[in-house]
Amino acid sequence: MATVGILTSGGDCPGLNAVIRGAVLKGETVYGQRFVGFLDGWRGLIEGEVMPLDRSSVRGLSHEGGTILGTSRVGPYTDPHGGAENIAKVLDTLQVDAVIAIGGEGTASAAKRLYADGINIVGVPKTIDNDLDATDYTFGFDTAVEIATEAIDRLRTTGNSHKRCMVLEVMGRHAGWIALYSGIAGGAHAILIPEQPESLDQICAWVTSVKDRGRSPMVVVAEGFRLPDMDSAHSTKGLDGFNRPRLGGVAEVLAPLLEERTGIETRATVLGHIQRGGSPTGFDRVLATRLGMAVTDLVAEKGWGHMVALRGTDIVRVGFDEALANHKTVPVDQYQEIRVIFG
Ligand code: F6P
């Protein structure tokens, strides 16, 4: 009977607990697998720190935000005690036969390397940014869009009262999916995403035309958006554990520029981690549960080096290589489709 260790790594995401529940319930019921959870992502695997996971410990979990296992941005190769050799020893000591890594791009890259180094590992894709090419949607994204849409609705009422331009910044490092979807849902007058450059003149023209017809402009900007004179995305908070710049604050750069150029009083709101917190939507709970269940099939079939993914309405499996080949960014025609009604 196989013992499987589950870990959640990288930024958390509504739906992680539903994945864990789906995996434990199906793994136990259908395959007789046993589970433990590694605490705080790769750190728990490197240090051999685990919690028991069984049917009773995942009871009622699918609606709970966050992750009962904890997470971190520690990489399995960056920690001095990490590396495949040490990890293999930890797995041996704990008598764990396989690892399920639930995470985004950084986690999948690390898992790919561990697989190449001989570790029995499979994956479940996760990111609110929805930027993993292997899967049509990642759980957490729908929840983030709901939260951002509600923020837009709320900003619009206060913006209307004061006749201000409101700028909302949402997450989206490489891809503007959250900005695009919430911006469309909330009826934003301009949506700015990392994939598509827009000049300050153009953004000001949209804002002014909204104001000229007596409305209060609503601009949604993804954290990874760059104005043409910016060499890289706005970052003033150093690097994260995967050596990526911590983004955030481009709305605060943009708002004073818009106010100065258009003469319209402008306020910026950075939505931040509110987008990642709280209970997942029904859609995300279903997707996360299905992925969690499906990853136990991968373990049962020893499909190491693969992750489960959503294609259309089917859960499929893809190799880490394929999953990591490209970011799933917003296609230009999908942006242009909505851009024609900006302003
Ligand atoms: O990668 C997902 C993400 O939500 C990004 O959009 C954002 O830049 C990052 O995580 C923030 O991470 P942290 O929780 O480390 O601040």
The region of weakest confidence among 23-37, 66-80, 297-311 is 66-80
DSSP-assigned letter for residue 331: P
Catalytic residue flag (residue 129): yes
pLDDT digits (tens, 9 = 90+) for 221-277: 999 999 999 999 999 999 987 788 999 999 999 999 999 999 999 999 999 999 999
> CA 101, 103, 105, 108: dihedral to nearest 10 degrees?
0
**Mean pLDDT of all residues in 46-64:** 96
CB distance 179 to ligand 1 below 6 Å: no
State the distance from the centre of ligand 1 to the C-alpha of 331, rounded, in angstroms.
Answer: 22
Q: Say if residue 77's pLDDT is above 90.
A: yes
| Block residue for tokens 């900005």 | 179
pLDDT digits (tens, 9 = 90+) for 267-319: 999 999 999 999 999 999 999 999 999 999 999 999 999 999 999 999 999 99
CB distance 136 to ligand 1 below 6 Å: no
CB distance 249 to ligand 1 below 6 Å: no
Ligand 1 pocket: which of 73, 105, 129 to mutate (most atoms <8 Å of CB)?
Answer: 129
Question: Is 105 annotated as belonging to a binding site?
Answer: yes
Task: Using the Cα atoms of residue 296, residue 300, residue 301 and residue 302 in order, give the sign of their dihedral.
Answer: positive
Question: Is 129 annotated as belonging to a binding site?
Answer: yes
Note the pLDDT of residue 320.
Answer: 94
Question: Is 124 annotated as belonging to a binding site?
Answer: no
On the CB side of 194, CA atoms within 13 Å amount to: 23
The Cα–Cα gap between 245 and 92 comes to 36
Note the pLDDT of residue 244.
Answer: 86
Note the pLDDT of residue 325.
Answer: 86
The pTM (predicted TM-score) of the whole model is 0.96
Q: Which atom of ligand 1 is nearest to the CA of 13?
A: 4
Residues near 323 by beta carbon (within 8 Å), at least 6 away in sequence: 108, 123, 125, 132, 133, 134, 135, 307, 309
Note the pLDDT of residue 81.
Answer: 87
Which token pair is 154?
């709320």
pLDDT interval class at 1 (50, 70, 90):
confident
Name the residue at shortest CA distance from atom 15 of ligand 1: 11
State the distance from the centre of ligand 1 to the C-alpha of 170, rounded, in angstroms.
Answer: 11
Q: Order the strands of the 306-311 sheet from edge to edge.
A: 50-53, 34-38, 3-8, 98-103, 121-125, 306-311, 314-319
Phi (first) and psi of residue 234, to 5 degrees: -65, 125
Q: CB–CB of 78/111 below 8 Å?
A: no
The Cα–Cα gap between 131 and 141 comes to 10
pLDDT digits (tens, 9 = 90+) for 127-180: 999 999 989 999 999 999 999 999 999 999 999 999 999 999 999 999 999 999
Q: Which atom of ligand 1 is nearest to the CA of 178?
A: 6
State the distance from the centre of ligand 1 to the C-alpha of 71, rounded, in angstroms.
Answer: 12
State the distance from the centre of ligand 1 to the C-alpha of 169, rounded, in angstroms.
Answer: 13
Domain boundaries, the chain: 3-139+280-323, 142-276
How many C-beta atoms surround the C-beta of residue 190 within 10 A? 24
CATH of domain 142-276: 3.40.50.460
Q: Which residue, 154, 123, 144, is CA-closest to 295?
A: 123
Strand partners, 125: 103
Note the pLDDT of residue 25.
Answer: 98
Q: CB–CB of 191/218 below 8 Å?
A: no
Q: CB–CB of 16/282 below 8 Å?
A: no
Domains 3-139+280-323 and 142-276 alike in fold: yes
CB distance 6 to ligand 1 below 6 Å: no
Q: Say if residue 96's pLDDT is above 80.
A: yes
The Cα–Cα gap between 220 and 207 comes to 12
Helices 282-300, 16-26: inter-axial angle, 10-degree rounding: 40
pLDDT digits (tens, 9 = 90+) for 188-222: 999 999 999 999 999 999 999 999 999 999 999 99
Strand partners, 35: 4, 53
Name the residue at shortest CA distance from atom 3 of ligand 1: 11
Q: CB–CB of 104/128 below 8 Å?
A: no
Note the pLDDT of residue 80.
Answer: 84
CB distance 138 to ligand 1 below 6 Å: no
Q: Which atom of ligand 1 is nearest to the CA of 276?
A: 4
Note the pLDDT of residue 79.
Answer: 82
Domain 3-139+280-323 has CATH 3.40.50.450: yes
Q: Which atom of ligand 1 is nearest to the CA of 73?
A: 15
Question: Is 70 annotated as belonging to a binding site?
Answer: no
Question: Is 127 annotated as belonging to a binding site?
Answer: yes
Q: CB–CB of 94/100 below 8 Å?
A: no
Ligand 1 pocket: which of 171, 240, 247, 328 to mutate (most atoms <8 Å of CB)?
Answer: 171
Q: CB–CB of 103/276 below 8 Å?
A: no
The Cα–Cα gap between 160 and 153 comes to 11
The residue from 54, 79, 97, 129 that is catalytic is 129
Concatenating the DSSP letter of every residue in 193-223 gives: -TTS---HHHHHHHHHHHHHTT---EEEEET
Q: Say if residue 323's pLDDT is above 90.
A: no
Residues near 240 by beta carbon (within 8 Å), at least 6 away in sequence: 73, 246
Which token pair is 38?
């590694």
**How far, in Å, are 53, 101, 167 from residue 207 at the CA level?**
52, 44, 11
